[in-house]
Amino acid sequence: VVAADETLDQIASTMNVTTAQLMADNNLVSPSEITVGETLYATTNGLVHVIKRGQTLTDIFITYGVPIDKIT
């Protein structure tokens, strides 16, 4: 979610993607198109897991065999 005074470059860096990729993933023509409170999405080469209510990191570890310190 875009915070006040946050730039697309900063968000891309935090998400570990390029600004160009973040723009493409969100159909942006210009980095200045983002607005405070907007949710941005980034494609990933990794696994995405949607956490269910009551699920713990241990549950995810058991399901995928991924060490807890590698889950972000």
CA 26 from chain centre, in angstroms, equals 12
For residues 45 and 52, what is the distance between their CA atoms, to the nearest angstrom? 22
What's the pLDDT tens digit per position in 14-36?
Answer: 888 899 999 999 999 999 999 99
What's the pLDDT tens digit per position in 57-72?
Answer: 888 888 877 777 776 6
Structural domain boundaries in the chain: 1-41, 45-72
Whether the predicted model's global pTM rises above the 0.75 cut: no
13 within 8 A of 6, measured Cβ to Cβ: no
For residues 71 and 62, what is the distance between their CA atoms, to the nearest angstrom? 12
Q: Is 16 left (phi over 0), alpha (psi -120 to 50) or beta?
A: left
For residues 55 and 58, what is the distance between their CA atoms, to the nearest angstrom? 8
In CATH terms, is domain 1-41 a member of 3.10.350.10? yes
